[in-house]
Amino acid sequence: MKEALKKCEERMRKRVDHLEIEFREIRAGRANPNVLDKLRVDYYGAPTPINGVAAVSVTEARTLTIQPWDASILRAIEKAIQTSDIGINPQNDGKIIRLVFPPLTEEKRKEISKEIAKMAEAKKVHVRNIRRDTIDDLKKLKKSSEITEDEQKKGEKKVQELTDKYTKIIDKMTEEKQKEIMSI
């Protein structure tokens, strides 16, 4: 039973960690190097993350600077940014690429806030599905007489506590991210 609970908590933790990564990639009107995390550049035949071929830094509140270590890859980085869904046109001066993040309109902020809520709800559904799977596993253990009915009930209570814990974490993360998006 302890193994089932440990596995349950591990799976729930992974969902929260994944949501945290998704939230970091959301463009919030200020320069954030994490928006480039999904982008890959063809570097000598291998898809490589931009931060693996260039120095990425925030030079001003809304400006991101990308300085490749190999000047020959400048065009490939520019093309990767243009074809991505970031929505920012790169400025290439021949040595570095600048990404200037425009301020978000109120309408866009609300739209992003709704998207954040949808992402969070999807993760909460994942957590509840993990709860259901774990409770099913506990019922199977009871049926095969590996645990007693009391142990099953204790296990189900623990699973519900874990579900509540991770749901609250997701709610808190969502509230913080929405607050960040809505602040100017």
Q: Where are the domains of the chain?
A: 2-24+105-182, 33-100
Give residue 108's pLDDT: 83
C-alpha 89 chain-centroid distance: 23
Top-confidence residue, 121 or 32: 121
If you average pLDDT over residues 31-40, what whole number do you get? 80
User: Which pLDDT value is given to residue 184?
Assistant: 59
Q: Is the pLDDT of residue 146 over 80?
A: yes
The CATH code that applies to domain 2-24+105-182 is 1.10.132.20
Q: Which CATH class is domain 33-100?
A: alpha beta
pLDDT in tens, 1-14: 888 899 999 999 99
- Specify the length of the chain in residues: 184
- Indicate whether this model's pTM tops 0.85: no
Structure tokens at 75: 């065009």
* Backbone φ and ψ of 81, nearest 5°: -70, -40
**pLDDT value of position 22:** 87
The reply to whether domains 2-24+105-182 and 33-100 share a CATH topology is no
The sheet carrying 91-92 orders its strands as: 54-60, 63-68, 97-100, 91-92
Q: What percent of the chain has pLDDT over 70?
A: 97
